[in-house]
Structure 1
Amino acid sequence: MPPIALFIALLLLATPLAQGETDSSRSQPVVSVDFENGVLSPDWKSEGSGNATLVPEGFGAKSLLVTLPDQGSRFVHIPLSAESVRGRRIALSAHVRGENVTRPREPWNGVKVMLKTVAPGGTDYQGLMDLYGTFNWKSCGLITTIPADVTEATLMLGIQDASGKAWFDDVSLLVLGKLRSRPASPPALLPPEKLDRRTDLPRLRGVMYGPQGREEDIRKLAEWGANLIRWQFYWYDGTFPEKRLDLALYDQWLEATMAEVDRMLPLCEQLGIRVLIDLHTPPGATESRQSAIFQKAEYQKKFLEVWEKLARHYKDKPAIWGYDLLNEPAEGSVAPGLLDWHSLADLTAHRVREIDPHRAIIVEPGPYGGWGNLPFFEPIAVPGIVYSIHMYDPLAFTHQGVLDGYPVGVEYPGMIRGVLWNKEKLREILAPVREFQKDYNVPIFVGEFSAIRWAPGDSAACYLRDCIEIFEEYGWDWAYHAFREWHGWNVEVGSVKDDTSPAPVPTTREKELRAGLSKNQSARAVNP
């Protein structure tokens, strides 16, 4: 491989934030690569087919070009200090250009900008997604939290499971901010039945549903005992990639989705089911693991307008419980002059509360609503905020046969990638959420949790049971992912992967879900 000129800046970890500063306002680079100067470092390695070289183009004088004439993979990578990222919240970003990069079989392949980490619990790959085809230079990025027990870390650039050309420039890995400061004297925790302080509603237990609604589905959920639907406002049209930048088309989609929900609200009210509006598709959508609202001002402005519109429309609808501001915020890199997710959520919550003083406002910590983000997330000073997380750990179990690198055949409870996963392990990883709840006396809502239906034996049912029991113990509202959506999560479909037909008898997963939902019926019997 021809020499690659690289400049690596390994600096001290991020200093603590001053009061009032955001993660975006103070950060320190672990790695910064601009391809302008320096000499080839023996730490950098290249592997795979094709070629990697410096070329005289990019945002400066040079950029890295990876070329694969035929289907294959080519990586240029360098090891990082595990200590520099261990237990930290990091931002990985790059400028990337593509030419005729074929569409890979999996969305996480194609053009790769990725951080690989190794821990006792296994290897994790955090990288950009859905990067293929021909596109001009664009800024891409992601924000994620690195486990505290990481032993190895590697920065990787290249193309995987595809052919074509990809250029890379201005690659950086930043450590963001610090852990939030826990209050010295947390308030007394309210009992579970009083945690929902915004309304007189009982505990909420239900499912994620949508984007299309059917009367028979709503009636079935009521029969099962559900009292909550987290309704996806999700633009799933197959032609969506070409439409996503058109705000007029976005408005048309939004109006149609609102009409679909409105049509079912009287039935939900009649059956005692509350609805949570979940904005799954923000203006400009999400591509390559980052939402456009963090890249262009027009989309961020539109995001605020959308929530003002939704709040005005639904503020007087009795069946509406609240507003989930953004599903799994994909903050990625934040363009200059735009708000990061915490600041944008804060501003949006204030505007929604001015319009609707009563309904819950659900905020998921970025990125992606993961439970591990709450230690980095400061509470928002708006009445009636509910903090939401999604629970899919360990992914090697819940997403076996779904995500690349997660083969089928993994059982729960049991040893998974060298770690014993059971109910106590679930309780252990959810401890930061429980701490957040206690520290600020705030309600917690588990907006999604699930396990793939083809997990061995009754593993998925055991996982659902353990999750629900923990949520119940802590007084958390919850919604199963998902009801009659993709067959992989459908509890009414059996455990044979290739058989997507409804099971002739209730599955063990359905039984566990219905057992959890039945607590709503018990509560109604006690408090008619």
Structure 2
Amino acid sequence: MMIMKYLFLIGWLLLTFAAGAEEWKLDDCSRLLPEKIVRVTVPAESGERGCVGARQTVDLRPWRQMPVTFSIRARAENVSRPAEAWNGVKFMLHFRDSNGRDFWYNPGNLYGSFDWRELSFMVLVPEEAESGELWIGLQDCAGTAEFAIDSLKIAPLFSRGSDIAAQYRPAVAARPARRGVMSPSGDFTETTVADLAGWGGNLLRFQIVRNWGETNTDRDLEEYSRWLDGRLDHLAQVLQWAKKYHIAVAVDLHSPPGGRRKNGDMAMFYEPDYADFYVQCWERIARRFNGNAQIYGYDLINEPMQSARSAENYWQLQERAARAIRQIDPDTPIIFAANQWDSPEAFHYLPASELTDIIYQVHMYVPLEFTHQGVFGPGEAQTYPGEIGGRHYDREALRKILQPVRDFQLRHGAQIYVGEFSAAVWAPGAEQYLADCIDIFEEYRWDWSYHAFREWEGWSVEHAGEAPGSLVPSSDNPRKQALLRGFQKNR
């Protein structure tokens, strides 16, 4: 662990890059101050349109397939609030991939007045990336912003993972494949478990969850502790039902102490009090359920997100929690999660653990324009298979998206668990998307759980409809049939 940490620090120091003032190209609304500060001013009478400031070209080739942070110090004065959250004070990278698709990365919700502070964002640089353009300035707003260009840093967020082999005890290596669903987010009855067994499912990912989609929650640790105890009481009952119906249970701490920040990052990656309490929570769970044969694995973090450096990153905190669990429960497998919301691309840099019986989790919602269409608001319908977001998607495209996970599996001999995958009820071709995903999971011998079972109607295979707000109960439909065909392999 310490060797890996030092290698990470050495790599960061060697690869950190800062640009000089001569590399920035300024437009008419910006000027370079003697202190190497670029000041950008847009008067209100300009109409608050467009993007102005300074820009420079960045060579992306050294950073391919690496998570890279871009940071700069800036301040703002009376910047008007833009119509879109991604505009305002602008610190942005723009580039195109080999298919001609455009990508933009930048922090959002930057307006008003604030003193000097660091602005940052993270990019996982594509394998085909050549160069990009970095922008600083103001977009679709009025006011003044200043940027300390000598403070610009471009640095790898994490080191690449090692090539150590994953280790599994014979009892874990020989376990039968598991195929199932995410649980309802609230309480549920024995009927829920019995119906899942009747469908042929043999895995339930039990969500310990609240405040989903909200920010700055779960900050009161005493209150969080009382809530957690209540959920663990319910889990104890669910495990009894699971034993009766021969269903394995992944214990998923879906809502961690400290919650998420506005940018989606988990607070516990930056605030030690929440990190320590998180480890204590897993010690509590392990003490209570140590030796319970129905537990498929301790699912450490749901969809971690970390976009800036910290003293203990998303992987190191999971490793600490896992080692604490192993002091109490030496036998139950432990499930590690990839960064960037459990994305397939984060497996490019996900390390393998030296601990025994570690399962690695991925979630599959790519392309998001298809799987989540209509979930966050109205938009143009996207059909699978077909052209989505300027790219053709079919089974082979999905296979390519999942290739980093497959490479990780082969490189480490690791067990893979697809903790979530889905497509909205009304998404045209959802049944084919689910079938193609399941076929790939089966080909690679990955365990999987569909999101979700009797949770929200928009993901339900027991509902049908062509748009949000028009769903009706459905006892049989193509999406449900795709799922049931997958469950048949359990028999």
The TM-score, its normalising length taken from structure 1, stands at 0.76
2:346 alignment partner in structure 1: 373
Extract unaligned runs of 5+ from structure 1.
1-16, 523-528
Contact 2:452 2:459 in 1 (8 A): yes
Paired position in structure 1 for 2:277: 302
Task: Give the alignment partner of residue 330 of structure 2, picking from 351, 357, 369.
Answer: 357
- The one-letter code matched in structure 1 to 2:129 is V
Separation (CA, whole Å) in 2 of partners of 1:386 and 1:432: 16
Residues of 2 paired with 1:484 and 1:129: CA distance?
A: 34
| Residues 332 and 19 of structure 1, relative CA distance in 2, 3 Å threshold | closer
Residue in structure 1 matching 2:436, options 461, 466, 473: 466
- Is the alpha carbon distance of 1:73 and 1:504 closer, same or farther for their aligned partners in structure 2, counting shifts above 3 Å? farther
SS state of the match for residue 319, structure 2?
helix
1:50-61 to 2 correspondence within 5 Å? none
User: Is the partner of 2:207 in helix, strand or coil?
Assistant: strand
Match of 1:260 in 2: 234
Measure, in 2, the Cα distance between the counterparts of 1:292 and 1:392.
Answer: 24
Note closer, same or farther for the CA distance 1:213–1:104 as it changes in structure 2 (3 Å cut): farther
Query: Match for residue 11 of structure 2?
Result: 26
Pick closer, same or farther for the CA change 1:167–1:329 going to 2, 3 Å: farther
Whichever residue aligns with residue 435 of structure 1, its letter is: D
Partner of 1:173: 154
| Cα distance in 2 between the residues matched to 1:519 and 1:433 | 22
Q: Does 1:273 align with 2:247?
A: yes
**In the TM superposition, what is the alpha-carbon distance from 1:109 to its structure 2 partner?**
6.9
Whole-angstrom CA distance in 1 between matches of 2:81 and 2:156: 32
2:78 and 2:281 mapped to 1: Cα distance?
A: 35
Summarize the alignment of residues 29-48 of structure 1 with structure 2, pairs less than 5 Å apart: 32=18, 38=21, 41-42=24-25, 44=26
Give the drift of 1:490. Answer: 2.3
User: Is the partner of 1:367 in helix, strand or coil?
Assistant: helix
2:220 paired with 1:235: no
Corresponding residue of 1:3:
none
Give the alignment of 1:303-452 within 5 angstroms: 303-335=278-310, 338-402=311-375, 407-452=379-424
Deviation at 1:128, TM superposition (A): 4.0
Contact 1:66 1:166 in 2 (8 A): yes
1:24·1:176 contact (CA, 8 Å) conserved in 2?
no
| Pairing 1:509–2:485 present | no
Moved more, 304-313 or 389-398: 389-398
- Quick check: 2:386–2:392 contact (8 Å CA) kept in 1? yes
The 1:274/1:497 distance shift into structure 2, 3 A limit, reads same
Separation (CA, whole Å) in 1 of partners of 2:304 and 2:487 = 28
Aligned match of 1:293 in 265, 268, 273? 268
What CA deviation, in whole Å up to 9, does each residue of 1:198-248 have, x standing for no partner?
Answer: 27642111112243121143333222222112122223179x646443222
Of all paired residues, the percent bearing the same amino acid is 32
Matches within 5 A, 1:103-142: 113-121=91-99, 122-128=101-107, 141-142=120-121
Kindly provide the amino acid, as one letter, of the partner of residue 304 in structure 1.
V
Please tell me the root mean square deviation across aligned C-alpha atoms, in Å: 4.1
Aligned length: 481
Could you tell which deviates more after superposition, 471-480 or 123-132? Answer: 123-132
CA separation of 1:503/1:137 partners in 2, compared to 1, >3 Å: closer, same or farther? farther
Partner amino acid, structure 1, of 2:307: G
Correspondent of 2:225 among 236, 242, 251 = 251
Q: Which sections of structure 2, spanning at least 5 residues, go unmatched?
A: none
Which AA in structure 2 matches 1:256?
G
Give the match for residue 493 of structure 1.
Answer: 463
Query: Quick check: 1:323–1:361 contact (8 Å CA) kept in 2?
Result: yes
Residue type of the alignment partner of 2:411: D
Contact 1:208–1:481 under 8 Å retained in 2: yes
How far apart are the structure 1 equivalents of 2:89 and 2:295? 42
Instruction: Give the equivalent residue in structure 2 for 1:11.
Output: none
> In the TM superposition, what is the alpha-carbon distance from 1:387 to its structure 2 partner?
1.0
Distance 1:95 1:480, change over 3 A: farther
Deviation by residue 1:394-452 (Cα, 9 ceiling, x = unmatched)? 23332334579x95332222333454322222223323322222222221111111223
TM-score by length of 2: 0.81
Q: Measure how far apart 1:260 and its partner are.
A: 3.3
Distance 1:440 1:425, change over 3 A: same
Q: Which amino acid aligns with 1:41?
A: W
